[in-house]
Amino acid sequence: MKYQKGEAVLPSHLLQEVQKYVDGSLLYIPKASKKVGWGCSNGTKEALKDRNSKIARLFREGQSIGKLSEKFYLSEETIKKIVYGRKQV
């Protein structure tokens, strides 16, 4: 989000109308587009889902919590949440 001067982006009649309500104050104007869920636009959510599925599969195949923790650079508590189904992405 970047700061823009109202007089640079709004027509003068609209600026005058807005000034009636928020004269000299900062005003946040939200995007008109629909919000996208966390991690959906850049693929992070899908990547974590794939990673967690791989961790769960390797655990079912016999890999220890400690080995999975080292392999994926996660704490043992996080691995436990993933393999025991308490952490969903």
Sign of the CA dihedral with 12 first, then 17, 22, and 24 last: positive
pLDDT tier for residue 24 given thresholds of 50, 70 and 90: confident
DSSP 38: T
46's tokens:
């899908």
Q: If you compute the radius of gyration of the chain from its CA atoms, what whole number of angstroms results?
A: 24
Domain assignments of the chain as residue spans, ordered by start: 6-31+38-83
What pLDDT score does 87 carry?
52
Best CA proximity match to 85, nearest among 54, 48, 56: 56
pLDDT digits (tens, 9 = 90+) for 34-65: 888 888 888 899 999 999 999 999 999 999 99
6-24 average pLDDT score:
90
Q: How many CA atoms, within 13 angstroms, populate the side-chain half-sphere of residue 24?
A: 0
Name the average pLDDT for the chain.
Answer: 89
23's tokens:
């004269």
